[in-house]
Amino acid sequence: MLYGVNGCNTIRSFAIYLQENLMSHILSTNTSTLDTINRANSDAFAIKEAWNDHELTEPTEDLALFLTQLSGTRVLDIGCGWGRLAYHFLDAELQYLGVDYSAAMVQAAQLSTPDTSFVVMSGTNLNVLSESIDGIWCCCMLHQVPKLELLTHLREWQRVLRPGGLLYIVLPDEESSYERMLYDENDQPEMWYAAYQPSELETALYKAGFHHIKSFCRKEAHSFTVTARVSD
């Protein structure tokens, strides 16, 4: 059967599509591999100080709302990165702890904001006492969490929050829900990316034991926010 040039290109494109989706499916069930890939990507980002090459806007409206809704002083910043937002919490005279699973990111944070508590921790295994945190701030971190691990993260966060404690999540606003591997210019795995929708997080938060769940989009910032509390 003769397909012609256009037909061959279509078949080739479809084959590539199947290959990429099959690989994504296989990887999505192997979360330890994905964690290793994403941690290596974060380490490399920190070592290169790659944030200097990006124009990053600060989520000032979300930060102000978080501080307004927070009751208490003990704040846990999950996925703190190089500590770019830490000064907001320090200026508010809060008891701040920044955690990240990338050792290189934590080292960068310690250099950029000395005399501040930054610790290497996984979001699924926080070395923090139960019911000891008043508020958790999590900005642009969950998109690196495979969807199979989402509920594990949220249940751990629920554990460390005190009754009435606040969880504040900010994520990129994507048009649809998906997860897949992103590749670098050499076609090597670079980062596992999980695009969440607000309804997904709301459902997972209910399952994790959170209440008073609200979500809203910030179209101008291309982000959405989900807030929740632990029952009193």
Q: Decide if pLDDT at 27 tops 60.
A: no
- Note the pLDDT tens digit of each residue in 98-137: 999 999 999 999 999 999 999 999 999 999 999 999 999 9
Nearest Cα to Cα of residue 81 among 110, 54, 60, 61? 110
User: In a 10 Å sphere around its CB, with 0-12 CB exposed, 13-18 middle and 19+ buried, how is residue 57 labelled?
Assistant: exposed
Q: DSSP letter string over 57-98?
A: PP-HHHHHHHHHH--SSEEEEET-TTTTTHHHHHHTT-EEEE
C-alpha–C-alpha distance, residues 14 and 91, integer Å: 53
The pTM assigned to this predicted structure is 0.86
Q: Decide if pLDDT at 152 tops 70.
A: yes
Q: Which CATH superfamily is domain 4-230 in?
A: Vaccinia Virus protein VP39 (3.40.50.150)
The encoded tokens of residue 135 equal 């508020």
pLDDT of residue 55: 67
- Note the pLDDT tens digit of each residue in 2-21: 444 444 445 444 444 444 45
Q: How far is CA 18 from CA 8, 12, 15, 69, in A?
A: 15, 10, 5, 46
Which of 43-47, 65-69, 85-89, 205-209 is the least confident region?
43-47
DSSP 114: T
Q: So where are the chain's domains? A: 4-230
Summarize the confidence of residues 64-91 as an average pLDDT. 96
Better pLDDT: 12 or 142:
142
Averaged pLDDT score across all residues of the chain: 88
pLDDT of residue 7: 47
DSSP 221: G
pLDDT of residue 8: 46
C-alpha–C-alpha distance, residues 81 and 72, integer Å: 24
Q: Give residue 54's pLDDT band: very low, low, confident or very high (50, 70, 90).
A: low
Summarize the confidence of residues 20-45 as an average pLDDT. 73
Residue % of the chain over a pLDDT of 90:
72
